[in-house]
Amino acid sequence: MKFRYLFIFISISQLALAQINEHKYFGAIILENNAPMSFSLDLIEKDGKVSGYSITNHDTEDETKSEIQGLYFKEDKTFQLQETQIIYTKSENPINSFCYIRMNLKTKNRFTKKRLEGNFIGNFLDSSSCAKGKVLLLEKSIIEKKIKKIEKKIEKIKKKEVKQEITTTEILKDGDDLNIKWNTKYIKIKIWDSNQEDGDKINLKINNNIILDDFETNNKPKNIKYKLEEGKNTIEIKATSLGSSPPNTCRIELIDKRKKYPILTQLELDKSVLIIIEK
């Protein structure tokens, strides 16, 4: 019995030692031509493994949020990080024109303020080079007051512009349903493959009307505009081909005037998801 208690004690001790650390930084990436772009990292590190997201071009029409994966090396306080896919973007540019960056960053302390500095290189989805430069970041908590002042100035400049609210990305799998309350009489739909093009094909029906038949998704968004009926409307997405890298995945944006609903579908062959729009 005492050995059993010893085993439980050791297990609890190991869990306590597995610390989870949060890292939040804000600053800029500097391209080779010295052009700066606002950039932030929100990271979670556990036992040297890092996950989280980056945001580029804060509060602009090109603002983009990307998934981050990587490693943290405690001995020399360095990160090796890579953007793996786009979570959302306000940009209208084709997905295959986006640059995914890899970073080698080192933590530095100066005047008790923690900085994160290093270099990055960027590649398109086809692995060709698209950019390189430096990353300069400060702990977000240090500059939150400055950020608020900047945001107030930006709000004043953009007070006449219409802003779109972006909801949290919904992930839908085989047989899932999603209900959305709708305000306008039209729905705008964007549908694309945000990862490597691999031959995924889908059927898209709205109110049982075939809109896309065995359509192959690619990195350029397909735009659809549809007039809704009063009451409930249904959007069905069905996988007709898994391509060369199962499962069938596609990105979808439903746009209701000032609100965007980002959706990621992950489907097996001949499986579908249903989105119910209540107008």
pLDDT digits (tens, 9 = 90+) for 204-221: 999 999 999 999 999 999
Q: Are residues 138 and 171 in the same domain?
A: no
Residue 3: pLDDT band by 50, 70, 90 thresholds? very low
Q: Is the pTM of this model over 0.85?
A: no
Q: Are residues 44 and 108 in the same domain?
A: yes
Per-residue pLDDT at 136 exceeds 80: yes
14 in a structural domain? no
Residues 148 and 39 in one domain: yes
- Nearest by Cα to 96 from 123, 121, 58, 64: 123
CATH number of the domain encompassing residue 54: 2.40.128.30
163 pLDDT band, cuts 50/70/90, is low
pLDDT given for residue 12 in this prediction: 43
Q: Kindly report the CA angle at 87 between 83 and 88, in degrees rounded to 5?
A: 120
Domain identity same for 143 and 213: no
Does the residue 1 lie in any domain?
Answer: no
pLDDT (mean) for 143-170: 72
**103 and 130 inside one domain:** yes
Which range marks the domain in which residue 83 is found? 20-157
Q: Are β-strands 165-166 and 259-267 bridged in parallel, bridged antiparallel, or unpaired?
A: parallel
- Residue 217's pLDDT is 94
pLDDT at position 159, please?
63
Question: pLDDT category, 273, cuts 50, 70, 90?
Answer: very high
Tell me if 79 is assigned to some domain: yes
The answer on pLDDT for 153 being more than 90 is no
pLDDT of residue 8: 39
pLDDT band at 258 (very low <50, low <70, confident <90, very high): confident
CB 122 within 8 A of CB 101: yes
Percent of the chain exceeding pLDDT 90 equals 61
What average pLDDT does the chain have? Answer: 86
- Whether the predicted pLDDT of 39 surpasses 60: yes
**Range of lowest pLDDT (12-26, 75-89, 111-125, 132-146):** 12-26
pLDDT of residue 93: 87
Task: Give the number of domains in the chain.
Answer: 2
Residues 148 and 181 in one domain: no
Mean pLDDT of 188-198: 89
The per-residue pLDDT for 166 is: 82
> Could you read off the pLDDT of 14-36 as tens digits, one per residue?
444 557 888 889 889 999 888 89
Burial of 120 (0-12, 13-18, 19+ CB in 10 A): buried
Domain presence at residue 68: yes
| 194: confidence class by pLDDT, cuts 50, 70, 90 | confident
Q: Which band of pLDDT confidence, cut at 50, 70 and 90, is reported for residue 13?
A: very low
Residue indicated by tokens 């071009």:
57
Q: How many CB atoms lie within 10 A of CB 148?
A: 10
Residues of the chain with pLDDT > 70: what percent? 87
